[in-house]
Homo-oligomer: A and B are copies of this chain.
Amino acid sequence: MARIVMKFGGTSMAGIERVRSVAERVRAERARGSEVAVVVSAMAGETDRLVQFCREASPLYDPREYDVVVASGEQVTSGLLAIALQAMGVPARSWLGWQLPIRTDDAHAAARIEGVDAAVLERAFASGEVAVIPGFQGVDAGGRIATLGRGGSDTSAVAIAAAVRAERCDIYTDVDGVYTTDPRIVPRARKLRAVTYEEMLELASVGAKVLQTRSVGLAMKERVRVQVLSSFGDGSGTMVVGEDELEEGVERQVITGVAYDKNEAKITLTDVPDRPGAVAGIFAPLAEASINVDMIVQNVAHDTGSTDVTFTVPASDLARSLDALGRNQEAIGYARLVHDTRVCKVSVVGVGMRSHAGVASTMFSALAQRGINILAIATSEIKVSVLIDEDFTELAVRVLHTAYGLDAEAA
């Protein structure tokens, strides 16, 4: 008997009609003989509404009280889905984070799951009852509600799937799978039958916002097989699995997908002294402010013994970054602080890269042929990213999608 954790996002739960559709999907999965547990998000828009309440109550809200407020959204949908399932004759009940329990650390509003007690769920499976569990939340050691940060319901689902050793964790969302790139930009983008955890991590973190990054990391660590599929359509989605589980015999491209991320900001410090320790002096204050620096370029030293240093930070951290650097101008010794948010990071991702040379050079020449200037470069074992002018985003994505042979056959 297959054991499946099904997770439904906010658009899937937006309103009672959709809750009923979700219940019907759960009923059908159970009718196929599966043991089912369900993880739900809040209704679309509800978490935003609750977060806004907290901000209005105080911009410096206590994250422990914020958690009490925002966790209510999933509490509501859990109860409603249990009611809708019962109305279809499916035994069901809600299990809140503190009832299971789902234990977290006490980093409120951004908590990490420390453990999921599987005993209740095992009993539910044994009795044929569907457990409906609010995503995004658990309870800390002090017995207070803790939420996992936005998008945390994916992580809840994967953690629960790991705890009950589920055969699969199906993440139902408003897209029907993971594509080779954004189909709004490249109509001939193809849905992938499978990607590896590593690829998904790179795709998620560079802007293909299908799964929360942390949930993919957890799935990889716990070896949970994740499927991304649509709440609204039929058919299978994209499996996210270990590299060893990729089907043999299926010809894989060197590159699995092309992603882009416009939420980067470029910062340049001019005329930094070209001496040991100077660069460390730049990044220490940013690290202290918990700002993640991504792409870094250090220019060749000028004749004057100084150099320019360029790097990117998340656009949401730009103001804090400029503040931290401004306060340290004297210590760092730079001349000017220049920034630009009209940039985009475009990445090609694929495990096939490990065994194929020339991936980066294909990228650079394809972009150069269209006159797209590269502002910065970053690479990992399975990814090459370039920073470009934001205006060229769509062009770059299309060029690379074609260059790596990802375009679907014309219909």
On A, residues with C-beta under 8 Å from B are 16, 19-20, 50, 53-54, 56-58, 60-62, 64-69, 71-73, 75-76, 78-80, 82-84, 86-87, 93-94, 96, 98-99, 143-145
Contact = CB atoms under 8 A, between A and B. Distances in A.
Contacts of A143: 99
A66 B53 contact: no
24 contacts: A16-B56, A53-B80, A54-B80, A54-B83, A57-B83, A57-B84, A58-B87, A60-B87, A61-B83, A61-B86, A62-B83, A62-B93, A64-B93, A65-B82, A65-B93, A68-B75, A68-B76, A68-B78, A68-B82, A69-B75, A72-B73, A72-B76, A96-B145, A98-B98
A79 B87 contact: no
Given A19-B57, A58-B84, A84-B58, A69 B65 contact: no
Contacts of A64: 93
B79 A69 contact: yes
Contacts of A69: 75-76, 79-80, 83
Contacts of A83: 54, 57-58, 61-62, 65-66, 69
Contact of A20 (B19, B57, B71): B57
Of A61, A66, A68, A76, most buried by chain B (CB within 10 Å of CB) is: A68
B68 A79 contact: yes
Given A50-B76, A68-B75, A16 B86 contact: no
B96 A76 contact: no
Contacts of A144: 99
Shortest Cβ-Cβ A-B pairs, 3 listed: A68-B79, A58-B87, A69-B79
B99 A79 contact: no
